[in-house]
Chains A and B, each alone.
Chain A
Amino acid sequence: MTTYVYGIARRGHGRLPEQMGGIGDPPRPVRTVEQGDLVALVSDAPEGLRPKRRDLLAHQNVLAEAGAGGAVLPMRFGGVSADDEAVRAVLAEHEERYLERLEALDGKVEYNVKATHDEEAVLHQVLAENAELRALSDANRKAGGGSYEDKLRLGERIAAAVQQREVSDAALVESALDDSAEERSPGPQSTGWLANISYLVPRDATAEFVAAVDALRERAPHLVVQVHGPLPPYSFTG
């Protein structure tokens, strides 16, 4: 029977969610594997585990529940060990590093911030700032939209201007939130956001962080800013 690992905590962790339902259908009960000063949160791994919605959610829920009681190093979804003994071996081998990370993450949570442009608002801005584009747009409008070539010419220049704003607005998001968090980690690339950033925030300072996001939204109404958190500190496991 293979062992699925959700996360790693200190042995002294307040309350780990034992007997909570984990991955699989029916859900495999969550249990712990202890080694030295560490404890791994595990369950049996179901045969043919795939990244199905219910399993991803179970992984996330176990970590959220465990994280509410103390520091937990969250595993990426889908790590399966040969058996409990192999889990102990890994804990023993990396004990020092895991303890150091747990110390660093103690009392902290992750917030993920994603931003896109509100298209209409950003087009307003781009036109407001550039008289030449405004004149082109105006000419097209007067010509009933303009010819195919006219549209391409205008659209290409607008797209370039919006792309420039994507870069400067990404920097704006970073600078607006950096002071309210301890660490920043870029989110996974190529998922289509102008900014996708994870922040490590002390639990007792999350209200300030959320207030900083609100202030950013107010300051930059052309941005659509999403915040997700508090989350297990996936992006800060070192």
Chain B
Amino acid sequence: MTVVPAQQSGSGGGSSGLYDVLELVLDRGLVIDAFVRVSLVGIEILKIDIRVVVASVDTYLRFAEACNRLDLEAGPKRSPGLPDLVGEITESGARGKSKGALSGAAQTISEAFKEARSEGEESPRPRSRRTTTRRKEEQE
């Protein structure tokens, strides 16, 4: 007996893990006024983290740091507009060289350390949260 029909295609289909559709089960669906509603007190813990950009000092600092770390020449997901960007960065980089090669090198090393440290701290962010295990539970 299949409760949740199988995914239609490898990359595009989605399963329906409870967590991902919780808000629909709790916030959508038919409501009948004459019925008593179960209290939803305590359900807040299941709310999804705020992920959109919130204007705050923390966000600003995080973005500034992220830009600083951004590897513009070898980003894993280079945007289509990137070749232009790399060209310009290289140009301005060349201008910057006249300031002195030594400080440039020192900076690169300290950045490499910083990067290595932060990489060690941050666990990789899942690209998408397609759950396959729960689907098995929902199938018999």
Contact = CB atoms under 8 A, between A and B. Distances in A.
Interface in B97-140: 99, 107, 110-111, 127-130, 138
Contacts of A86: 34-35
A159 B79 contact: no
A207 B127 CA distance: 22
Contact of A225 (B39, B65, B128): B128
Contacts, number: 270
Given A65-B3, A140-B68, A151-B60, A228 B14 contact: yes
Given A124-B78, A193-B52, A76 B28 contact: yes
A137 interface: yes
A217 interface: yes
Interface string B9-21: 1011111111011
Contacts of B107: 142, 144
Contacts of B16: 60, 64, 228-231
A159 B30 contact: no
Contact of A79 (B12, B22, B35, B82): B35
A32 interface: no
Contacts of B89: 134, 138
B60 A227 contact: no
B39 to A, nearest CB: 7
Nearest to B127: A224
Given A51-B26, A80-B35, A221-B77, A228 B52 contact: no
Contacts of B5: 68, 230
Given A134-B89, A226-B130, A227-B13, A112 B84 contact: no
A31 to B, nearest CB: 17
Size class of B's contact patch?
35 or more
Interface string A51-62: 101001101110
A195 to B, nearest CB: 10
Given A127-B85, A192-B48, A192-B51, A78 B37 contact: yes
Nearest to A62: B3
Contacts of B63: 123, 154-155, 158-159, 162
A81 interface: yes
Interface of A: 2, 5, 7-8, 49-51, 53, 56-57, 59-61, 64-65, 68, 73-82, 86, 89-90, 94, 110-112, 114, 116, 118-121, 123-125, 127-129, 131, 134-135, 137-138, 140-142, 144-146, 150-152, 154-156, 158-160, 162-163, 166, 185, 187-188, 191-194, 198, 206-207, 210-211, 213-214, 217, 221-222, 224-232, 234-235, 237-238
Interface of B: 1-5, 8-9, 11-18, 20-32, 34-40, 42-43, 47-53, 55, 57, 59-68, 70, 72, 75-79, 81-82, 84-85, 88-89, 92-93, 96, 99, 107, 110-111, 127-130, 138
